[in-house]
């Protein structure tokens, strides 16, 4: 299962037509200490590039965009209870939401790891 990345610094993995979505290590570093995560409701329809969640750091609120069209089928309650997980394990345990994919073709234009690393200047 390969991981893909967006220019808005989300990562996405796909299994059985469902995408697991989180924010990248780079994004978490830029945010700083996360103190609150506002997750979408189960069943909510989301659209690629539109706001799906919000992360609040000490300094500011930042939107997390849906990387793909679909419907929210699960959210990660553990990051709502312990927002600092977003800093400590952004590309692992601190996934944000699972989206039942409506338009798989949207995956084709996303970056792979090498392209994303280049995108953020690593």
Partner 1 sequence: MSETIQRTPLYDAHVALKARMVPFAGYDMPVQYPTGIMTEHTWTREHAGLFDVSHMGQCFIVAESFERAAEAMEALVPADIRGLAPLQQRYSQLLADDGGILDDLMISRSAYPGRLYVVVNAARKEQDYAHIASRLPPDVKLERLDGEGLIALQGPEAEAVLAALNPQVRDIDFMHFKLLDIAGIKDVHVSRSGYTGEDGFELSLSAADVVTLWSILLKDARVKPIGLGARDSLRLEGGLCLYGHDIDETTSPIEAGLVWSIAKHRREQGGYPGFTRIKNELTTGLKRQRVGIKPEGRLPAREGSVIQSAAGREIGKVTSGGFGPTVNGPVAMGYVDKAHAAPGTPLFLVVRDKAIPATVVKLPFVPNRFKR
Q: How far apart are CA 34 and CA 37, in angstroms?
A: 8
Q: Which of 32, 109, 113, 118 binds partner 1 (CB under 8 A)?
A: 32
User: Do strands 10-15 and 3-5 pair parallel, antiparallel, or not at all (unpaired)?
Assistant: antiparallel
C-alpha pair distances (Å), 79 with each of 18, 52, 58, 82, 93: 20, 15, 16, 5, 9
Cβ atoms 100, 70 nearer than 8 A = yes
Q: Which stretch binds partner 1 (CB under 8 A): 8-16, 17-25, 54-62, 108-116?
A: 54-62
CB of residue 14 to partner 1, shortest distance in Å: 29
Residue 54 in the binding site for partner 1 (CB under 8 A): yes
CB of residue 77 to partner 1, shortest distance in Å: 14
Binding site for partner 1 (CB under 8 A): 32-33, 35-36, 38, 54, 56-61, 83
């Amino acid at each position: 299962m390969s991981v893909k990345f967006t220019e808005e610094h989300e990562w996405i993995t796909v299994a059985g037509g469902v995408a697991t979505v989180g924010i990248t290590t780079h994004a978490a570093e830029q945010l700083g200490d996360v103190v609150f995560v506002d997750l979408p409701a189960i069943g909510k329809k989301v659209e690629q590039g539109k706001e799906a969640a919000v992360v609040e750091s000490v300094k500011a609120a930042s939107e997390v965009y849906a990387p793909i069209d679909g419907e929210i089928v699960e959210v990660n309650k553990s990051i709502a209870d312990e927002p600092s997980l977003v800093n400590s394990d952004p590309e692992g345990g601190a996934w944000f939401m699972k989206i039942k994919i409506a338009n798989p073709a949207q995956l084709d234009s996303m970056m792979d790891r090498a392209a994303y690393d280049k995108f953020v200047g690593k």
